[in-house]
Amino acid sequence: MSRSHFFKHLSYTLVHHHRPSYLSPPLSAYKFPHRWKKPSSSSLFSKSPISSSSSVTASPSTTTTSESSAYLSVLIRCPKHVADSLSEALLCFGASSTSMDEDDDFDGSNEESFHPVEVTEGLWIVPEWISPPDVQATNIILNPGLAFGTGEHPTTKLCLLLLKKLIKGEELFLDYGTGSGVLAIAALKFGAALSVGFDIDPQAIMSARHNATLNSIGPETMELHLVPGKTCSSLDGREDEMVKEQSYYGTGVISGTEKYDVVIANILLNPLLDLADHIVSYAKPWAVVGISGIISEQCSRIIDRYSMLLEDISVSEMDGWACVSGRKKI
């Protein structure tokens, strides 16, 4: 994620909405649950070894209402060498305070924060280190790592419910901003013939590749592509080398507009608005496009932008978050 994009989005969330809970990269978003007991940290920059990482916690300076009380703080995991700069930026953009805490056992504490999630009856998201509660159910096994898509967040649940309703068998599915790969994996388990996921974040591609393997899914049915992003440049050359090791899962730019039966983008408001034409271009005429990663108050902006591209638009909501869907105009 580029610093310019991050700071622009940070300014928007802290100054205009005072809701930093969805600070994240433009295509693979790491979001926190609407209400939480123990927040899990996010990687906003390149991944670094656990021994050289810090957590930065920020709180907004303005008084919030009870409606937004779930967004009083955000925990950000980042390399030590950028922690001071990040703290200064948070304070500049309206945070009342920041604190830093070295996290020497991020993997261990991270595992403890994840539990099996029943999205709906017969559909579970299960961490790889836990046995599925219902072996007869559709179980999606995940090790989310630092990529968004654990199944706990309302937008992931909304997208999974939309997918479950749409996939009847043999569809081609595009996951625009794949994150952990949870949607691409789910589509295949629901009966899709092919899932394609792409992201601008190398960590997301690695996470999705690993999760595909956990679910016994190979590259012949789930293609993963690292794509260039105009707002994202590599901050760590090691990531490039790591992604090259995953080349058999695909790292080229996806082609094939008007190819997919279902397209879902669960990312962030600004890229959803900026990339609307690009997102919808991948859908076949009359195919369903799902748009999520937004809070309910942002629905009107999404509907205004996508109404020229989609028809039969509908909105589903959960815990203050929303998913907008519609069919591509012929």
pLDDT in tens, 258-274: 899 999 999 999 999 99
Burial of 214 (0-12, 13-18, 19+ CB in 10 A): middle
Identify the pLDDT of residue 24: 34
Identify the pLDDT of residue 86: 79
Domain map of the chain by residue range? 3-110, 116-328
Distance CA(86)–CA(73), nearest Å, equals 15
State mean pLDDT over 162-176: 98
Distance CA(323)–CA(292), nearest Å, equals 4
Q: What angle do CA 263, 23, 173 make, to 5 degrees?
A: 10
pLDDT tens track for 110-134: 566 678 999 999 999 999 999 999 9
Kindly tell me if the per-residue pLDDT of 39 is higher than 60.
no
**CB-based contacts of 92: which residues, under 8 Å, 6+ apart?**
none
119-133, 139-153, 221-235: least confident range: 221-235
Identify the pLDDT of residue 101: 75
**CB-based contacts of 308: which residues, under 8 Å, 6+ apart?**
none
Homologous superfamily in CATH for domain 116-328 = Vaccinia Virus protein VP39 (3.40.50.150)
State mean pLDDT over 161-170: 98
User: In this structure, how many other beta carbons lie within 10 angstroms of the beta carbon of residue 80?
Assistant: 13
Distance CA(311)–CA(286), nearest Å, equals 9
Identify the pLDDT of residue 9: 42
Residue 79's pLDDT band (cuts 50, 70, 90) = confident
> 165 or 38: which carries more pLDDT confidence?
165
Question: Are 146 and 43 spatial neighbours (Cβ–Cβ below 8 Å)?
Answer: yes
Q: What angle do CA 37, 298, 303 make, to 5 degrees?
A: 140
Residue 286's pLDDT band (cuts 50, 70, 90) = very high
